[in-house]
Amino acid sequence: MMENTQTHWCDPLLKVENLVVEYAVGRNTVHAVSDVSLQVARGETLGLVGESGCGKSTLGRAVLQLRRAVSGRVLFDGQDLTAMQGDTLRQMRRRVQLIFQDPIASLNPRRRIGDIVAEPLVISGVKDPEQRTRLVRDVLGAVGLDPDLVMGRLPHEFSGGQCQRICIARALVLNPDFIICDEPVSALDVSIRAQILNLLEEMKARYGLTLLFIAHDLAVVKAVSDRVAVMYLGRLCEVGPSEQVFATPAHPYTALLIEAIPVPDPDVRPAESVAVGEPPSPIAPPSGCRFRTRCPRADARCKEEVPELRAVAPEQFVACHHPLIAPG
Amino acid sequence: MTEPALLSVEGVAVDLPTPRGNLRAVDRVDLQVGAGRTLGVVGESGCGKTMLSRAILQLLPKKAKLSGRVMFDGRDLASLDPESLRKLRGRSLAVVFQDPMTSLNPVLTIGTQLIETLQEHLELDSHAARQRSTELLAAVGIPAPEQRLTQYPHQLSGGMRQRVAIAIALSCEPKLLIADEPTTALDVTIQAQILDLLAREQRRRHMAMILITHDLGVVAGRTDEVAVMYAGRVVERAPTPALFKKMRMPYTEALLAAIPKLDAAPHTPLPAISGRPPDPTRSLKGCSFSPRCRYAAGSCYQEKPALAGSDAPDHQYACFHPIGAAAGIHA
């Protein structure tokens, strides 16, 4: 491993260890997150990619303890969040914020923008109204909104892109260390999406943030992430530096996701039916490797044995018995 | 094209009354689609692309006012009575929507819905209709079609439901299929499968298709011609290869540039389009894109540019300062 990467791994801001999250649906159990371990270094953006139902949002919520894990640990700045309760947890949550996919639905339609953005301050005990107003004005200005024009208005007066700016302002107002962005741009139009992605990058630099960026769109994830983690049906398939993973994917599923992206160039013919079948149900995931039912490389071993995450290149890890690049 | 187009949209405008005044959702659009051809209609939400497809299908909201003419297969659709229109839709003019649950009936089995369509439009007896339904489901890539016929829409995944919706749309061998954001609700790997399926069935049936999408990436490899819409109007229209080779309208260029590229390094700032689309209830004097356009000057704020041809006859754009003109290519 390279020296500079060694140093930042000594002290990750977030460390998820063997996390298992399950929930009951009727008499069945959904295996949403199964034995996932990952870490996010200080100042880094980790992109978490996967299709719907792969457990990426559940993982994000489990980090915040909005959904309690069955087993495993979530270490934030060295402290185990899964062991925390009540006030201690609430104090810790000031440092971790969440931005959701649907910006309009995540704002209370009957409250004014000024109050919405000030709410985290109220909850965390900033008692001085003047101080609150000052902080709210600062953060609204930072996300590109004019505080004088927006503070007295209601969410319905704003477009989706502007509502997402308001959500970002609300997440930033407590000056957190870590933000979990759960599909922050997938509900937005292409032209607005680019504005919000650029804003997130700006805010990351300005506030010294560490981000967990959850999305299904690989191109979007690549645009903002230092490293990417690919999930499939509750398990991690591959983790590595963004450029490396996109240039030389090791997991057949990662390769499939990359090939499936439509390229805006008529000279690039779309690959004919790259993907076979659909993801199986997380209620009864396949034995062994969960991707084996759709994988062109699957054999008997994939059915028997769960592949462990192992290094195939510096910093690149894959959970596959037959990776596309030979283990190094 | 020497033969008359299968579909010809002539000066179509759609006006919707709203509490805030008249909303012109579609503003004098002209389009043609030849038999067996694919037209991509690209634009962001609110640009009028869905209203345009509804105008073609004569399925506009009751209060909407439609002007202009929609000629399909030699007939003016506005002049048809509801009964002949109903016969036409589903038979030679079919549609697939973004969310298959809006077009599938949740309380009827897949089989009932398919068989009903076949019996209604093709007058097949129940045995033949059942046989045909099984074949159709197999053709759209649904495993164990025989069993699926007895299932309800909620028992299928999103991708499978969209396949069923496509099977129903294709069941009567339509001449034109309107696919309105057919893959937007689906995952990427499933999106590729559905687009492949549509392309394959289209070739096999020599069917014309209008593919409506917000994603320039989707139209690039899968259409013959592209029309880009902005604020209710077609602002650029060209054969697909020509369009991607040389975009003239600044909006098209900006839209393409705003898509994150896989080959760009992480943390490369995206060339975003500033601002947002205009309020459609307020009419703008000049070009609707002028407030967001980096080339806008003088006349752009005064009058609306018409969609007009250029040096290439098939390539039309509505812009006073098209890209490439400043470099002396086009005076």
Whose tokens are 């003019």? That residue is B93
Domain A3-238 has CATH 3.90.1150.10: no
For range B190-203, the mean pLDDT: 88
The DSSP call for residue A226 is S
- B156 close to B141: Cβ distance less than 8 angstroms: no
pLDDT of residue B319 exceeding 90: yes
Work out the pLDDT band at B272, boundaries 50, 70, 90. Answer: confident
pLDDT digits (tens, 9 = 90+) for A184-214: 998 888 888 999 999 999 999 999 999 999 9
Beta strands, E only, chain B: 7-18, 21-33, 38-42, 65-72, 75-76, 93-96, 176-180, 208-213, 225-230, 233-239, 308-309, 316-317
For range A28-52, the mean pLDDT: 94
Residues 6 or more apart whose CB falls under 8 angstroms from that of A227 comprise A44, A45, A46, A47, A239, A240, A241, A242, A245, A315
- B177 close to B207: Cβ distance less than 8 angstroms: yes
Question: What's the confidence (pLDDT) of residue B280?
Answer: 79
Record: contact B217-A271, CB cut-off 8 A: no
Q: Exposed, middle or buried by CB within 10 Å (0-12, 13-18, 19+), for B295? A: middle
pLDDT digits (tens, 9 = 90+) for A207-218: 999 999 999 888
The DSSP call for residue A1 is -
Whose tokens are 């910093």? That residue is A315
Residue of B262, B273, B292 to mutate when probing chain A, most A C-beta within 10 A = B262
Helical pair A252-260 and B188-205, crossing angle rounded to 10 deg:
50
**Pairing status of strand A210-215 against strand A45-49:** parallel
Q: What share of chain A in percent tops pLDDT 90?
A: 73
| ipTM value for the complex | 0.82
What Cα–Cα distance (Å) separates residue B169 from each residue in A231, B26, B32, B89, B113? 34, 25, 21, 10, 11
Work out the pLDDT band at A274, boundaries 50, 70, 90. Answer: low
Chain B residues touching residue A233 (CB < 8 angstroms): none
CA–CA min distance B77, chain A (Å) = 32
CA A159 to chain centroid: 24
How do the residues of chain B divide into helix, strand and coil, expressed in percent and rounded to 5?
Answer: 35, 20, 45
Residue in chain B closest to A222 (alpha carbons) equals B266
pLDDT digits (tens, 9 = 90+) for B22-73: 899 999 999 999 999 999 999 988 899 999 999 999 999 999 999 999 999 9
Q: Which residues from B are below 8 Å from A when comparing CB atoms? A: 44-45, 157, 159-160, 187-193, 195-196, 214-218, 220-222, 240-241, 244, 254-256, 258-262, 264-274, 276
Residues 6 or more apart whose CB falls under 8 angstroms from that of A82 comprise A65, A68, A69, A72, A73, A74
Question: What's the confidence (pLDDT) of residue B327?
Answer: 45
pLDDT digits (tens, 9 = 90+) for B232-245: 999 999 999 999 99
For range B92-114, the mean pLDDT: 90
pLDDT of residue A7 exceeding 70: no
Higher per-residue pLDDT: B154 or A271: B154
Question: What's the confidence (pLDDT) of residue A6?
Answer: 41
Work out the pLDDT band at B331, boundaries 50, 70, 90. Answer: very low
Q: Which of A45, A20, A26, A37 is nearest to A210 (CA)?
A: A45
Chain B residues touching residue A261 (CB < 8 angstroms): 188, 217, 262
Question: What's the confidence (pLDDT) of residue A163?
Answer: 94
Record: contact B193-A243, CB cut-off 8 A: no
Chain A residues touching residue B196 (CB < 8 angstroms): 270, 272-273
Give the integer Cα–Cα distance in Å for A293 and A70. 27
Whose tokens are 């034109």? That residue is B176
Chain B residues touching residue A189 (CB < 8 angstroms): 44-45, 214
Residue of A190, A231, A276 to mutate when probing chain B, most B C-beta within 10 A = A190
Record: contact B254-A275, CB cut-off 8 A: no
Instruction: Tell me the residues of chain A between 30 and 59 that have a Cβ less than 8 Å away from chain B.
Output: 51-52
Give the integer Cα–Cα distance in Å for A234 and A23. 12
Residue of B140, B188, B201, B267 to mutate when probing chain A, most A C-beta within 10 A = B188
pLDDT digits (tens, 9 = 90+) for B131-161: 999 999 988 888 888 889 999 999 888 888 9
User: Which sequence spans correspond to the domains of chain B?
Assistant: 103-171
Question: What's the confidence (pLDDT) of residue A254?
Answer: 94
Mean pLDDT of all residues belonging to chain B:
89
Question: What's the confidence (pLDDT) of residue B329?
Answer: 40
The DSSP call for residue B319 is -
Residue in chain A closest to B186 (alpha carbons) equals A52
For range B87-95, the mean pLDDT: 89
pLDDT digits (tens, 9 = 90+) for A64-106: 999 999 999 999 999 999 999 988 998 898 999 999 888 988 9
Higher per-residue pLDDT: A1 or A315: A315
DSSP B102-154: HHS-TTS-HHHHHHHHHHHHH---HHHHHHHHHHHHHHTT-SSHHHHTTS-GG
Work out the pLDDT band at A8, boundaries 50, 70, 90. Answer: low
Q: Which of A194, A217, A258 sits opposite B258 (nearest CB)?
A: A194
Strand-pair partners of A20:
A71
Q: What share of chain A in percent tops pLDDT 70?
A: 95
Record: contact A223-B274, CB cut-off 8 A: no
Higher per-residue pLDDT: B278 or A254: A254
Could you tell me the end-to-end alpha-carbon distance of chain B, in angstroms, rounded to an integer? Answer: 29
Strand-pair partners of A236:
A231
Question: What's the confidence (pLDDT) of residue B301?
Answer: 93
